[in-house]
């Protein structure tokens, strides 16, 4: 009897372990977002779906500092007419950092007769306190607009909209055929609700969402090549920028075609666009 009892206990333990292993193996997860803040590289945000639950985590120095479930809309029922209803799932697809806030985007595409995309922008603080939800119709692109504002372009109406960090609209304009200026993400400084200083691919510029380009200086004008007669342009990486007393300061890592490397500082008067010699 003792042998039977011992065998029974061992069997229960083995079955229990097998069940736990099975439960572990059946956990499903999918990572949507895993990005590091450009303002503080010790901060990282992740969004993943674990067994059907969306979770957002803020990591600081590789440890979870804040965590919460996301109560964003997961689907929407769309009336297609003729008694037909289509359920459209929302999917997290993008993340944007401000200095003290995090923006998470969800979108859904109506694949049938509506042929529209609804985009939800969820705004959280860096401590994951929920601030607001902004809804737009149409595929969007987005960028920070300085450290505490953001801009989206809604292609359904060819419209730019600038929001503050609470989701309040502070500027919007619809463009009727004309081109519009767009900030380079994380490489711009907003100096008003419409004007910004921008470090683009080829130049530093002052631009206006309402009036267009104000001035521009190419990197070739700012950073002379070495040697001067070299036709291959240097590779330039912006590593620091600041604005003080109407003077725009930039520091670049520069690699010349010869292989020589150096740090180069530039200064520009933001009122005139004039280059200030160091």
Asked whether the beta carbons of 275 and 217 are under 8 A apart, the reply is: yes
Is residue 251 over pLDDT 70? yes
State yes or no: pLDDT of 241 exceeds 90: yes
SS3 content of the chain, % helix, strand, coil (to 5): 10, 55, 35
Q: What is the pLDDT at residue 267?
A: 97
Per-residue tokens: 226: 């070495």
pLDDT > 70 in the chain, percent: 83
What Rg do the C-alpha atoms of the chain give, in angstroms? 26
Q: Is 19 helix (H, G, I), strand (E, B) or coil?
A: helix
Q: What is the per-residue pLDDT for 110?
A: 61
pLDDT for position 151: 97
Q: Strand pairing of 75-81 and 275-276?
A: unpaired
Burial class (CB in 10 A: 0-12, 13-18, 19+), 16: exposed
Grade residue 232 by pLDDT with cuts at 50, 70 and 90.
Answer: very high
Tens digit of pLDDT for each residue in 139-194?
789 999 999 999 999 888 899 999 999 999 999 999 998 889 999 999 999 999 99
Check residue 8 and give its pLDDT: 54
Terminal CA-CA length for the chain: 94
Q: Choose among 102, 115, 8, 27: nearest CA to 57.
A: 102
Q: What is the pLDDT of residue 82?
A: 80
Q: What are the pLDDT digits (tens) for 186-199? A: 999 999 999 999 99
Read off the pLDDT of residues 19-48 as tens digits, 9 standing for 90 and up: 444 444 455 678 889 999 999 999 999 998
Separation of alpha carbons 153 and 46, rounded Å: 25
Lowest mean pLDDT among 18-32, 176-190, 209-223, 224-238: 18-32
Mean pLDDT along residues 112-123: 74
Alpha-carbon dihedral 156, 157, 162, 166, rounded to 10 degrees: -60
DSSP 192: S
Domain boundaries in the chain? 72-174
Residue 119 pLDDT > 50: yes
Helices vs strands, H then E, count in the chain = 2, 22
Phi and psi at residue 46, in whole multiples of 5°?
Answer: -130, 145
Q: How many CB atoms lie within 10 A of CB 132?
A: 15
Local confidence band at 259 (pLDDT 50, 70, 90 cut-offs): very high
Q: CA separation (Å) from 271 to 30, 137, 206, 268?
A: 49, 37, 9, 9
Q: How confident is the model at residue 73 (pLDDT cuts 50, 70, 90)?
A: low
Per-residue DSSP letter, 205: E
Tokens of 245: 């007393």
Residue 191 has what pLDDT? 97
Q: Per-residue b/e over 38-57, b at no fewer than 16 CB within 10 Å?
A: eeeeebbbbbbbeeeebebb
Least confident of 54-58, 106-110, 116-120, 234-238: 106-110
Average pLDDT over residues 215-242: 94
pLDDT for res 24: 44
How far does Cα 22 stand from its chain's mean position?
Answer: 37
């Amino acid at each position: 009897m003792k042998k039977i009892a011992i065998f029974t206990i061992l069997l229960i333990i083995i079955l229990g372990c097998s069940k736990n292993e099975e439960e572990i193996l059946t956990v499903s997860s999918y990572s949507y977002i895993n990005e590091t803040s450009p303002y503080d590289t010790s901060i990282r945000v992740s969004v993943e779906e674990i067994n059907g639950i969306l979770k957002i985590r803020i990591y600081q120095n590789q440890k979870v500092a804040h965590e919460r479930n996301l109560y964003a809309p997961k689907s929407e029922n769309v009336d297609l007419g003729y008694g037909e209803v289509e359920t459209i799932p929302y999917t997290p697809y993008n993340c944007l950092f401000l200095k003290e806030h995090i923006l998470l985007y969800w979108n859904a595409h109506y694949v049938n007769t509506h042929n529209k995309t609804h985009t939800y922008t969820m705004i959280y603080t860096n401590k994951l306190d929920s601030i607001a939800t902004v809804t737009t119709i149409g595929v969007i692109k987005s960028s920070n607009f300085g450290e505490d504002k953001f801009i989206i372009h809604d292609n359904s109406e060819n419209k730019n909209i600038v929001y503050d960090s609470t989701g309040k609209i502070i500027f919007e304009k619809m463009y009727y055929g004309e081109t519009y200026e767009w900030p380079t993400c994380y490489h711009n400084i907003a100096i008003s609700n419409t004007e910004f200083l921008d470090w683009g691919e080829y130049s530093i510029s002052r631009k206006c969402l309402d009036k267009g380009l104000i001035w521009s200086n190419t990197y070739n004008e700012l950073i002379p090549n070495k040697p001067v007669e070299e036709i291959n342009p240097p590779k330039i990486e912006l590593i620091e920028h600041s604005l003080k007393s109407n003077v725009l300061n930039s520091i670049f890592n520069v690699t010349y075609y010869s292989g020589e490397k150096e740090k180069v500082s530039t200064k520009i008067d933001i009122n005139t666009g004039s280059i200030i010699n160091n």
